[in-house]
Amino acid sequence: MMEPEVMIGIEAHVQLNTKSKMFCSDMSEPGDAEPNSNTCPICLGFPGSKPKVNAKAVEHGAMIGLALNSRINEKMFFSRKAYFYPDLSKNYQITQYEIPLASGGFMQLGETKIRIRRVHIEEDPAKLVHDSGEITSANKVLIDYNRAGVPLAEIVTEPDFKNPRQVRQFMEHLSSVLEYLGVYDPKREMSLRVDANISINGGERVEIKNITGFENVEKALSYEVVRQSGITRMGAKVERETRHFNAEVKTTSALRKKEYEEDYGYIFDPDLPMITLTRKFVDSLKANMPELPEQRAARLVKDYKISDYYANVIIYTGKPMADFYEACLKLENKPEPIASWLVNYLLKSLNWRSERIEDSKVKPETFVELIRMIEKGEVTERYAKELMKQYVDTGTSPKKLAAKEKFALSESDMLKIVREIISKNGKAVSEFKSGKGEALQFLIGLVLKETKKQADPKTIKGIIEKEIR
Amino acid sequence: MEHICMLAKLNLTEQEKESYARELSDVLEAFKVLDSIDAKDEPAFHPIEIKDRLREDEVRRTKWNPLGNAKSVDKKYFTGPKIV
Amino acid sequence: METSIRKHIEAIKNGDVKLEEFVSEVLERCEKVQSKYRPFITINKKPDLKKSKGKLAGIPISVKDSICTDGIQTTAGSKILEGYVPPFDATCVANARKEGGIIIGKTALDEFGFGTFSTNCAYGAPKNPHDPERACGGSSGGAGCITAAADFPHIAIAQSTGGSITAPAAFTGTVGITPTYGRVSRYGLIDYANSMDKIGVIGKEVYDAALLLSVMSGYDPLDSTSSEEKTDDLTSYVGKGIEGMRFGIPKEYVSDTTDKKVVSGFMKAVQKLEVAGAKVEETSLPLTKYAVSSYYLIAISEASTNLAKYCGLRYGMQQEIVGDFETYFSKVRTAGFGKEAKRRILLGTYARMAGYRDAYYLKALRVRAKIIKEFKSEFKKFDALIAPSMPILPPKFSEIDKLTPIQTYNMDILTIASNMAGIPSLSVPVGKADGLPIGLQIMGDHFAEGKLIQIGSSLEGR
């Protein structure tokens, strides 16, 4: 059976982490505030209220446009997208239609170039809570406008994706870029949502709305490929519709079909001014752009000579991890071991605790302590791994932990043991002196036994050799 | 007319639909006078050019009772009609 | 009781007025006027008298009911906002209160401003004090009515989108000032057409209107369309004289569809202007014939989105929540909106539809640009343009019932272009015919309110 030809385009919505909302001065991040406590007449659409544009949101939007290689339009306007829905306080959304903030960009995903049609800014609708939990069986909705009016950037791609996996990769990369730009907080729930349009073999487009989570995006689209292929194989036609992804059962289902075609009747919003994005403004933004993930990864490789692999893991775990790494390097200039232990062991421990570096008790000062101990041979690699776990759990200084648990052998302890072994094994020593390599191994083995395998063989070797000479 | 009523969320009786439809087409006929003018000017969104009115990104809380005019509330939520 | 604002201010300053007694008397008289002519939707029975210090100290002020007043019902003349009590003051109201103005009530209007005679008011049309079988004009009909009928000092806050201050001023024989777009903050004004709505004033004399307008004008950071242009004390322009000024009468504004009695009254006033030292000539505004269509296209497009928020949630008319949102919204909106509102919503929705918006909405925006240019070039030649305020004398309610929508829209022909262009205008009464008032309007360049006041005051009291 032939693989279906898949075409996918997406619209990603990002909640921008400005301090205030898009058109009013309520908090942009209401968190768990009591419902409707983070509101004002403007975001609640009270008669007579008027919006006013948040300058920071414009800046953030422009930065996203620049990071996606787009052209920033010189003049931009806001439009009213009119449709009725209980989550829209004015029954129109203030967005950008004709003339958005940025257009004509792209993101390179390996070999594939994903073209970005436009980037624009708009306001988020309110949150609907269905009184029986599920959208399809509720009697009423409960509406919380705390989120209404939060600034959103919408990133629209051309239908350049050829499979669901690419979409996931795009979203992961996009999320990193947004994080490094400082316009988005990945920890904030629901702050990055995707609407995806998918068609197979040139058939009708199906839209899946409001997917959160990169895994879910891939799953939803994979399900659609299977579903749509199934339909066409039966000889039927795929219908153009809007569907919703159910994360629990991992399927998409059709939202109620509208009997009419929505026509948003766009007009320019006459309460808002034209915004000019001057050359000067754009140039100054460009000059002050934060380092993008690819740029930072390249810099790590170039400046610190670590592998691409390590650099990518550090960068794409998240900006706090990259900051952590470089903070460690300031205290102890050992890029390779720090990277190695970070990637191979620290991350494991954090993941095991489902913890992010910025929320954990791990700090650069104490982490480099551990690295130093390892480098000096004060702990064996095996015990270092144990120590790492405890350190991540407690945040206690590794030195203290080691002393408590007797993980570490001090230099003088080691020397004592080596000298003892040497004095008790004169035959092996003279054999070593006359060139017999196995004798050294024998001595190392004895020291290891004595230290109950706590010491590092390489270190032992070094000390023995020194003592004998 | 049906379609416009759907978009505008207005229920009209058959009679009303007819009479509004007639009025609408009269008015639209009248609008056709604009066909005779060739306007290549830039559209005037406001009578006076208004640009770059922006707000500093600062939080200012409003002390008020948002639920004060609502007849139907549930704890601190507004209640509304269901989606489907 | 004295009705002169100037004299009342003197009396207040001299301490001759006992505020509580005075206000109580005023409210009683309001009730009397209300039962005769019905200018109010709500009378504010317990106004705040504490802060009565400032330029408007002790002056009763009425507010058109499309302008939000904190704690006082605001309906925009519609059933769909019945019972709505705003939690904030419109900026212009806050400014008036700050200067000591006493808010005595909310005046009747055509629902959301949709109309020329205030007959589309869901709470009853106000009756013309000169002849109660006739309309007061609209949409600020209630404001014109109470200003004319008040036998106490009073100034009205009114509002205009296509001529809604000039029409009632002309029909009730009062002074109306429609300022430049952006002069007075629109924050708190219940929107009709955001790019054309202006808050203005109606008063018995030019001085009164100038006083209130000065207090309300000025930049408001809450309104992104608010002008940063400097404001000054407009009362200083009263009585300054018009010697040497040049006025133009656009010939399209005095046509054979204008009532001959109106023309006659208007021309008599023009003679007085010439006697006072002004030069008056005929001029032409050829784009006038496109004004009504382009105005309405812009107005209905904007209005149909502004009215979308009224759907029975959070404020105003709300019903039992049954059914899905489409059913519920439609039910409430159908019950709450009047005929003209529905008409404009339907029209506006249509005009915005993909496939039509380029031919209609966008074209109208271009025509507006042209009309503004045309006015601007006129004001290079003239200090002001003058014309009759309305093409007819105040009509009987029975006559209004017979008008088709198009005939009604065309009543605005004399005010619509200037309103769309956002230029200021002042309407001043210049006599009567058959006992009914005739208004003369003076149109000026953007921000030329002072000059208009100067000219208008020269026509007063003659």
Between positions 241 and 270 of A, the ones with CB within 8 A of B are 255-256, 259-260, 262-263, 265, 268, 270
Q: What is the dihedral of CA C78, C82, C88, C94, to 10 degrees?
A: 60
Residues of chain C with pLDDT under 70: 51, 461-462
CA distance C155 to C55: 13
In angstroms, the separation between the Cα of residue A122 and the nearest Cα of chain B is 15
Q: Catalytic site residue C264?
A: no
Per-residue model confidence as pLDDT tens digits over A422-466? 888 888 888 888 877 788 888 888 877 777 666 677 777 888 888
CA dist A215 to A185, A221, A249, Å?
Answer: 18, 10, 14
Count: domains in chain B = 1
Amino acid (1-letter code) at residue B64: W
Residues of A in contact with B66 (CB under 8 A): 36, 39, 44, 145
Q: Catalytic site residue C139?
A: yes
In a domain, B15, yes or no: yes
Q: Are residue C115 and residue C237 in the same domain, yes or no?
A: yes
Model pLDDT, residue C462: 47
Model pLDDT, residue A24: 97
Q: What is the dihedral of CA C106, C110, C111, C114, to 10 degrees?
A: -140
Q: A288: burial class by Cβ within 10 Å (0-12, 13-18, 19+)?
A: exposed
Task: Show Cβ contacts of residue A280 under 8 Å, excluding neighbours closer than 6 positions.
Answer: none
Q: Which of C203, C10, C184 is nearest to C90 (CA)?
A: C184
Residues of A in contact with C352 (CB under 8 A): 82, 263, 265-267
Which of A49, A84, A140 lies nearest to residue C311, judging by beta carbons? A84
Give the residue on B whose Cα is nearest the Cα of C181. B47
Q: Are residue C351 and residue C407 in the same domain, yes or no?
A: no
Mutation test of the interface with chain C: which of A22, A25, A40, A50, choosing the one with the most C Cβ atoms within 10 A? A50
In a domain, B29, yes or no: yes
Q: What is the CATH number of domain A411-468?
A: 1.10.10.410
Residue B56 — very low, low, confident or very high, per pLDDT cuts 50/70/90? Answer: very high
Count CA atoms closer than 13 A to C218's CA, side-chain side. Answer: 14
- Whether chain C has a CB inside 8 Å of the CB on B80: the answer is yes
Q: Which of C52, C62, C64, C418 is catalytic?
A: C64
CB contact under 8 A, B55 and A55: yes
Residues of C in contact with A43 (CB under 8 A): none
Count CA atoms closer than 13 A to A253's CA, side-chain side. Answer: 10
- Whether chain A has a CB inside 8 Å of the CB on C195: the answer is yes
Q: C280: burial class by Cβ within 10 Å (0-12, 13-18, 19+)?
A: middle
Token pair for A110: 């390996």
CA distance A392 to A378: 19
User: How far is C-alpha A257 from the chain's CA centre?
Assistant: 35
Count CA atoms closer than 13 A to A13's CA, side-chain side. Answer: 19
Model pLDDT, residue A137: 55
In a domain, C270, yes or no: no
Q: Are residue C222 and residue C301 in the same domain, yes or no?
A: no
Q: Which of C170, C189, C47, C167 is nearest to C115 (CA)?
A: C167
Which of A50, A90, A266 lies nearest to residue C222, judging by beta carbons? A50
Amino acid (1-letter code) at residue C339: K
Per-residue model confidence as pLDDT tens digits over A35-57? 999 999 999 999 999 999 999 99
Interface predicted TM-score (ipTM): 0.95
Mutation test of the interface with chain B: which of C78, C228, C288, C349, choosing the one with the most B Cβ atoms within 10 A? C349
CA distance A326 to A364: 9
Task: Give me the phi and psi of A138, to 5 degrees please.
Answer: -75, 155
Residues of B in contact with A48 (CB under 8 A): none
In a domain, B8, yes or no: yes
Token pair for A370: 């551990």
- The parent domain of residue C40 ranges over 5-243+387-458
Task: Classify the C-alpha dihedral A96-A100-A102-A105 as positive or negative.
Answer: positive
Model pLDDT, residue B28: 85
Model pLDDT, residue A388: 87
Strands in C53-192 per DSSP E: 60-64, 102-107, 127-128, 131-135, 155-160, 175-178
In angstroms, the separation between the Cα of residue C32 and the nearest Cα of chain B is 31
Model pLDDT, residue A409: 61
In a domain, B1, yes or no: yes
In a domain, C376, yes or no: no
Which of A139, A259, A265 lies nearest to residue B82, judging by beta carbons? A139
In a domain, C100, yes or no: yes
Give the residues across from C246 on adjacent strands. C279
CA distance A23 to A276: 17
Domain ranges of chain A: 6-284, 291-405, 411-468
Model pLDDT, residue A136: 57
Model pLDDT, residue A431: 83
CA distance A17 to A63: 13
CB contact under 8 A, B47 and C292: no
In angstroms, the separation between the Cα of residue C369 and the nearest Cα of chain A is 15
Specify the CATH number for the domain of residue C424. Answer: 3.90.1300.10
CA distance A237 to A248: 27
CA distance A64 to A59: 9
Q: Catalytic site residue C227?
A: no
Q: Which of C105, C101, C97, C176 is nearest to C137 (CA)?
A: C176
- The parent domain of residue B5 ranges over 1-35
CB contact under 8 A, A39 and B66: yes
CA dist A143 to A25, A127, A132, Å?
Answer: 20, 6, 14
In angstroms, the separation between the Cα of residue A75 and the nearest Cα of chain B is 10
Q: Are residue C98 and residue C28 in the same domain, yes or no?
A: yes
Give all chains having 3 or more CB-to-CB distances under 8 Å with chain B: A, C
Give the mean model confidence (pLDDT) for residues B16-28.
89
Q: Are residue C328 and residue C397 in the same domain, yes or no?
A: no
Amino acid (1-letter code) at residue B11: N
Model pLDDT, residue A407: 55
Which of C316, C366, C421 lies nearest to residue B47, judging by beta carbons? C421
CB contact under 8 A, A272 and C74: no
- Whether chain C has a CB inside 8 Å of the CB on B13: the answer is no
Token pair for C445: 């360049």
Give the residue on B whose Cα is nearest the Cα of C82. B69
Give the residue on A whose Cα is nearest the Cα of B3. A260
Residues of chain A with pLDDT under 50: none
Task: Show Cβ contacts of residue A338 under 8 Å, excluding neighbours closer than 6 positions.
Answer: A325, A328, A329, A332, A367, A368, A371
* C81-95: burial string, b at 16+ Cβ within 10 Å, e else: beebbbbbbbbbbbb
CB contact under 8 A, A265 and C353: yes
- Whether chain C has a CB inside 8 Å of the CB on B60: the answer is no
In angstroms, the separation between the Cα of residue B54 and the nearest Cα of chain A is 5
CA dist A278 to A75, A105, B1, B82, Å?
Answer: 8, 19, 45, 45
CA distance A306 to A298: 10
Count: domains in chain C = 2
Count CA atoms closer than 13 A to C64's CA, side-chain side. Answer: 35
CA distance C9 to C101: 11
Which of A143, A268, A275 lies nearest to residue B77, judging by beta carbons? A143
In a domain, C394, yes or no: yes
